[in-house]
Structure 1
Amino acid sequence: MAYVSLEIGHVKYDVKSKHENNRFAFDIRMDIDVNLTERLFEYNLEKDKQRLEQSLEQELQKKCGALIVKIQKHRIDPIGLGVYAKAFHYDQWKKVENDWGRALAEAKIRVMPKVTIKSSGVAK
């Protein structure tokens, strides 16, 4: 099994919200710069960089998806999507203001990470 340790540097995110078919929808795009700090497999930065970035994106998407499932299951909003709903869809948000947890649990939330490896540091 291949393992990699990384340091997340700069993260830029963009949240787009919609309200359609009586439910909210959020698209969360993340641009993530990472520095590899350790790897337990052979790796050529120039040759395999894109493949490793795609693998990291898939793993992050999987982990973020699991987090979203937990957030919706427990009907909590630790990432502040209610702020976006209120700001951009006030009339629809106002209708569910007192039961935002339920509305969030029914929302469609997609997380789309884009990983860029900035360096492999001293990883060997």
Structure 2
Amino acid sequence: MSTRAGNVALWILQVVVAGFFVMSALAKFTNAEPAASTFEAIGLGDWFRHLVGVLEVAGAAGLLVPPLAGPAGLALAALMVCATLTELFVLGGGAVLMPLSLLVLCAVIAHGRRAATARLRTRIVG
């Protein structure tokens, strides 16, 4: 993000989205509703609910670390693609707006932090 105002707006978005994913993960770890019944309907067991919770916490943490914010946004966007498809094709599509909205927000973060992601890739790969 090239402008100061744009950078600040992107940081605010990252903090808000990270907070949402942490709260979502806590619901998965504590077996709170509707997370418990949703994952029961998916049929993959508690291990999958916990795995998604761990991925959400890792992604949320990544959103708050400047060099990792872009890749974390991309990873969380991919997770939300899976959540959107699961909602549409397994759960009936009644609550598709939430994962779809988060997908868009995560994609905005990934796009806004693409320069930092490219720098990180260069440092890692060479």
TM-score normalized by the length of structure 1? 0.34
Which has the higher Rg, Structure 1 or Structure 2? 1
In terms of fraction of residues, the more helix-rich structure is 2
Higher strand share: 1
Higher relative contact order (CA 8 A, sep 6+): 1
